[in-house]
Structure 1
Amino acid sequence: MKQCQLTVPSVIHAGQGCINQISEIINIEQAKNILIFTDKGVRGAGLCETVEKICATVSYKVIDDLTAEPAVADIERVIAEIGEAKIDLIIGVGGGSVMDASKLASIIVGADYTLRDLLKDSSIAKKHIKTIMVPTTCGTGSEATCNAIVAIPEQESKQGIVNNCMIPDYVILDVNMIAKLPPKIIASTGVDALAHVVECFTSKKATVLSDTYAKEGARKIFHNIRKAYNNADDMEAKSEMMVGAFYGGVAITGSGTTAVHALSYPLGGKYHIAHGVSNAILFAHVMAFNKDACADRLAQLCDAVYPELSSKSIDEKAEHIISEIAEVVKATNIPISLKEFGVKDSDLDFLVQAGSQQTRLLVNNCKKLSLDDIRYIYKKVM
């Protein structure tokens, strides 16, 4: 076994009602001044009420005006708003954007470097404030990762800041937080989580440790995403999705996503297509392109998820995983064409150039992508 590493959050609370564990965490950390990150949609749905009630025993401030998939200027504005305030603990209650902003605040507030410094060199980051992550979707995995994604409007793309110091200190996986999640969001975030586990398992950087989480995450998500999407009352399926998404985040820290995520970043940066949707559009096509370089890995994943197909050939099992990906996207009614979002054939040159610059993720892909390969994949989804 080659040497490998996996960094996970220090404490994970899972189970219905575990949101109340935040009270104990505040006591353990002796926190007196708490900063809560959320957004107006999450707060308006009442998902922050319990957290605010718990934090009312001390001093707290809520930042709820984050934009979806925030840009550099949004994060800089929030950091400026915090200013010199004394913060003992940061709680992120929301989806990936909220949690990413929370993690960035934990390493920037009180630091002698800026967000733009981190965009140039994320290795300089240090954690200054401990964090609690409370996901309200079942897909981003941000509650487990050392990554934070920010949009860079001038480049019409996104960039990831990566440093292990951003691994959350505490995670709350309470299914009550996604009990009323709209099917559309279950679909897009769930497919994002599915992309995490499949990409991580087929990544060049996959290890025996990341594989464990990727395989189990894939099993949970493949078997439960359609149930969670179709039946709002299926709390067991939603619980499995939430844990599966967390496992996907853990897998990312030990392995890494690949060309699906790399090629999706320009779609979010320029056309503002939701992250999970842009991944879903590309997902099956990228895996089909990669198949000849990772058929054995896809077959191993098939064995873990669908053991009843163990007698099938490697190629048949690899093809089954790819067809299941496409079927999940179809069954959850996610758009499958970029034209639905106003992307034109004349945009191809931009997409190819912007996608090719996502080298942080493309180097993980099991197959090297030329500019012509990237163009081929984008054309498949036009």
Structure 2
Amino acid sequence: MLEKYNLKIPHAVYSGENALENIIAILRENQVKKLAIFTDKGIEDAGLLNYPMKIIEQSGAETVVLDDLPPEPTYGQAQKLVDQFKASGADFIMAVGGGSVMDTAKLASVLATNQYSINELLNSPDLAEKCVKTLMIPTTAGTGAEATPNAIVAVPEKELKVGIVNDNMIADYVILDAVMIKNLPRKIAASTGVDALAHAIECFTSNKANPFSDIFALEALDMILNNIIKACDSPEDMEAKNKMQIASFYAGVAITASGTTAVHALSYPLGGKYHIPHGVSNAILLAPVMRFNEPVCREKFAAVYDRCVHNKKECITVEEKSAFIINKLEEIVKHLDIPTSLSVFGVPASDLETLVNAGMQVTRLLNNNMRKVTNEDARALYKEIL
């Protein structure tokens, strides 16, 4: 009997040179009268909002900018911005930013109604219904939030990040324009790029992996493994940056069709309790978790090797290919100067049990891991990175 798969992606995706120019057609197609622009202060200070704003001015649409959003927001902080949106009377949403900005905009798209709040969606995500159409313009090549039905918010009382997942939050439109990431600081390009790398390899090795997700995950892995260092190290290499942006989107599609695993599950407490940036916490855990998974994912890692290594292939056996890929993940994280230990962030060894207890709560993702993660396994993995 054939298994069932499904693939849900944004209605329209635009990429390539001057892709931002599609904003005008999108706004006119939807007869937008007032546009709510979700962003943050960092995006504005970097001058990135200027690019789409110049184009929006040509459309004649009224705009309201909603930018009071900190990095890695709590659900309460996200709700505050959603409430501002509801009071604005805007009839279309555009997000210009990274994962937190896009996730908050997605939440706003299903919260124009007063029937439920973000707090209620944490417990009952099925309540969400699309009320307002959305356009996502990512300013990093990493989160893939422009493609997913997920919104991640911090829940302070649980010292954890929680994902709200509902297909109604998939964006209606996406614009991938490499000009938006051209001047991204190397530190942010690195951590968000490794986040996309984690998405791709986790989805490819997930219990939910299927022919649909594999197409996008493998293509994303090929593009990321062969471009992430160039994109981070060479500010003018727009070809590499464009490929990273597309790969990030592909990895987001893979999440929608499959799902991330123990890397993301165990990283959630690191963001929720210690406010470690999401991409960094995933990078710290990436090689340790994949090494833990290797006995049951060996054939999968070998397939990654076969697809993504384009120069002279020196590995012959499945074991050699698998080891090569895991070592490659580790090399990328080190080359990009991303921390590999929690000690950099002042996480004390005495918090080990707190981490284990919090990480093991993320069963939505742990259930996707091909190798079962026990409390003792989680303890050993956290010990490795303390």
Report deviation, 1:33.
Answer: 1.0
Give the Cα separation in 2 of the matches to 1:266 and 1:249: 22
What code does the residue aligned with 2:141 have? Answer: C
- 1:370 corresponds to: 374
| 3-state SS of 1:221 partner | helix
Q: Does 1:79 align with 2:94?
A: no
Give the Cα separation in 2 of the matches to 1:348 and 1:61: 45
Deviations 1:136-175 (CA, angstroms, capped at 9, x unpaired): 0010000000000000011111100001111101000000
- 1:155 corresponds to: 158
The one of 279, 284, 288 equivalent to 1:281 is 284
Give the Cα separation in 1 of the matches to 2:43 and 2:87: 27
Q: Does 1:325 align with 2:329?
A: yes
- 2:229 corresponds to: 226
- 1:23 corresponds to: 24
Report deviation, 1:84.
Answer: 4.0
Across the aligned residues of Structure 1 and Structure 2, the Cα RMSD in angstroms comes to: 1.1
Q: 8 Å contact 2:82–2:107 — kept in the other structure?
A: no
Give the Cα separation in 2 of the matches to 1:146 and 1:177: 22
- 1:299 corresponds to: 302
Q: Does 1:182 align with 2:179?
A: no
- 1:338 corresponds to: 342
What code does the residue aligned with 1:21 have? Answer: N
Give the Cα separation in 2 of the matches to 1:231 and 1:210: 30
Q: 8 Å contact 1:259–1:362 — kept in the other structure?
A: yes
Identity %: 49
- 1:194 corresponds to: 197
Give the Cα separation in 2 of the matches to 1:249 and 1:285: 22
Q: 8 Å contact 1:309–1:317 — kept in the other structure?
A: no
| 3-state SS of 1:148 partner | strand
Report deviation, 1:315.
Answer: 1.1
Structure 1 residues 11 and 111, CA gap change in structure 2 (3 angstroms): farther
**Unpaired runs of 5+ in structure 2?**
none
**Unpaired runs of 5+ in structure 1?**
none
Report deviation, 1:121.
Answer: 0.9
Give the Cα separation in 1 of the matches to 2:127 and 2:321: 43
Q: 8 Å contact 1:35–1:87 — kept in the other structure?
A: yes
Q: Which moved more, 1:201-210 or 1:53-62?
A: 53-62
What code does the residue aligned with 2:376 have? Answer: D
Give the Cα separation in 2 of the matches to 1:111 and 1:313: 58
Q: Which moved more, 1:86-95 or 1:248-257?
A: 86-95
Deviations 1:24-77 (CA, angstroms, capped at 9, x unpaired): 100001110110000111111111113223333111100112110110110121
Q: 8 Å contact 1:303–1:310 — kept in the other structure?
A: no
| 3-state SS of 2:227 partner | helix
Give the Cα separation in 2 of the matches to 1:253 and 1:43: 30
Q: Does 1:349 align with 2:353?
A: yes
Q: Does 1:359 align with 2:359?
A: no
Give the Cα separation in 1 of the matches to 2:88 and 2:336: 44
The one of 250, 275, 282 equivalent to 1:272 is 275
Q: Which moved more, 1:245-254 or 1:307-316?
A: 307-316
- 1:110 corresponds to: 113
- 2:385 corresponds to: 381
| 3-state SS of 1:108 partner | coil
The one of 66, 69, 73 equivalent to 1:66 is 69
| 3-state SS of 2:265 partner | helix
* Equivalences for residues 109-258 of structure 1 within 5 A: 109-258=112-261
Deviations 1:295-353 (CA, angstroms, capped at 9, x unpaired): 11111111111155386111111111100000000110001110010011101010000
- 1:34 corresponds to: 35
Report deviation, 1:111.
Answer: 4.3
- 1:3 corresponds to: 4
> Scaled by the length of structure 2, what TM-score is found?
0.97
The one of 312, 317, 322 equivalent to 1:313 is 317
Q: Which moved more, 1:71-80 or 1:257-266?
A: 71-80
What code does the residue aligned with 1:41 have? Answer: G
Give the Cα separation in 2 of the matches to 1:254 and 1:117: 25
Q: Which moved more, 1:45-54 or 1:226-235?
A: 45-54
Give the Cα separation in 1 of the matches to 2:318 and 2:146: 34
